[in-house]
């Protein structure tokens, strides 16, 4: 693997970095078109740490991954689905084309993968920019930011998290309900259902960070199916620790295979990924 660093100007004018993972053989002299995965980081996790979830998978699958630092309304590591951040994610293919003109991106195969807050932003990206994406995978994503704010008191340093989210969003859910709704994929369930974007939503019954996943990712899946029973949705439910499966050594390869980003393993065929649910 090789990491290329590019700089971009975020929606608020701040200069941010994005780290692009490419197979080591890929570069200015050898650059066939590759699929691109947009990978926003989770809450409080910087883009460099986000790189670690990918291992050598981009080399094995011959695709590129871009890990942006991101920028919320006020905060960098706690963007929580800020509309400006989602717009920046949508601009990343163009940003990469300008910064690395030799990088050939297959525009028909752009995907988004993320966990926790990154998964929340992946779902918002799919809802707001459906024509951009060929698929999206969210792991243990909060989908109702108002409920998330209330549940922070159950977590270690929960009061600090509530202060941070008030700073980022601009107030409490009671004071700014529209701002919280704008950052909640659940409020865009109808858009997701009609988007045509193939979705993978992975969530855990034993998540101790997003503590009520049945009413977060689970409820989003129910709402999508209610709005469109034929939506291309795969729901995977398990009992893992928060975002534990979003790693190169865990279930991330399986999620990539479902979008054709890694070759299928011959030992057994994966189940169909359309309007289905899998229990682990």
Q: What are the tens digits of pLDDT across the range 72-82?
A: 999 999 999 99
Per-residue model confidence (pLDDT) at position 267 = 59
Inter-residue contact 104 to 36 (CB < 8 Å): no
Per-residue model confidence (pLDDT) at position 279 = 66
Coil, helix or strand at residue 226: helix
86, with CB counted inside 10 A (0-12, 13-18, 19+), is buried
Per-residue model confidence (pLDDT) at position 268 = 53
CA proximity to 123, closest of 262, 4, 271, 235: 235
**Structural domains in the chain plus CATH codes:** 2-279 (3.40.50.1820)
Per-residue model confidence (pLDDT) at position 264 = 86
266, with CB counted inside 10 A (0-12, 13-18, 19+), is exposed
Per-residue model confidence (pLDDT) at position 197 = 98
> In this prediction, what percent of the chain has a pLDDT beyond 70?
95
Per-residue model confidence (pLDDT) at position 10 = 98
How far is the C-alpha of 94 from the C-alpha of 191, rounded, in Å? 24
Q: Integer distance in angstroms from the first to the last C-alpha of the chain? A: 31
Per-residue model confidence (pLDDT) at position 216 = 98
Coil, helix or strand at residue 68: strand
How far is the C-alpha of 26 from the C-alpha of 64, rounded, in Å? 10
How far is the C-alpha of 92 from the C-alpha of 94, rounded, in Å? 5
Q: Give me the tens of pLDDT residue by residue for the chain, a chain 280 residues long.
A: 999 999 999 999 999 999 999 999 999 999 999 999 999 999 999 999 999 999 999 999 999 999 999 999 999 999 999 999 999 999 999 999 999 999 999 999 999 999 999 999 999 999 999 999 999 999 999 999 999 999 999 999 999 999 999 999 999 999 999 999 999 999 999 999 999 999 999 999 999 999 999 999 999 999 999 999 999 999 999 999 999 999 999 999 999 999 999 998 765 544 444 456 676 6
How far is the C-alpha of 126 from the C-alpha of 120, rounded, in Å? 10
């Amino acid at each position: 693997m090789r990491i290329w660093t590019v700089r971009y100007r975020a929606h608020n004018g701040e200069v941010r970095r994005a780290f692009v993972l490419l197979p080591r053989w890929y570069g200015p002299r050898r650059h066939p078109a590759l699929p691109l995965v947009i990978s926003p980081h989770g809450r409080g996790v910087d883009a460099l740490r986000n790189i670690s979830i990918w291992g050598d998978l981009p080399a094995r699958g011959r695709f590129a991954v871009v890990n942006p630092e991101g920028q919320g309304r006020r905060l960098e590591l706690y963007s929580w689905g800020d509309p400006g951040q989602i717009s920046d994610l949508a601009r990343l293919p163009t940003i990469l084309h300008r910064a690395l003109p030799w990088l050939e991106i297959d525009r028909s195969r752009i995907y988004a993968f993320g966990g926790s807050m990154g998964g929340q932003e992946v779902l918002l990206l799919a809802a707001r920019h459906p024509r951009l994406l060929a698929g999206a995978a969210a792991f243990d994503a909060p989908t109702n930011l108002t409920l998330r704010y209330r549940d922070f008191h159950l977590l270690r340093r929960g009061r600090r998290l509530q202060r941070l989210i008030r700073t980022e969003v601009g107030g409490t859910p009671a004071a700014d309900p529209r701002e919280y709704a704008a950052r909640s994929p659940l409020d865009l369930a109808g858009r997701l259902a009609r988007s045509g974007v193939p979705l993978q939503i992975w969530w855990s019954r034993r998540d101790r960070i997003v503590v009520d996943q049945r009413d977060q990712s689970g409820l989003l899946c129910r709402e999508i199916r209610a709005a469109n029973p034929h939506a291309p949705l795969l729901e995977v439910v398990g009992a893992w620790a928060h975002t534990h499966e979003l790693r190169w050594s865990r279930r991330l390869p399986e999620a990539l295979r479902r979008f054709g980003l890694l070759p299928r393993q011959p030992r057994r065929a994966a189940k169909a990924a359309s309007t289905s649910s899998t229990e682990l």
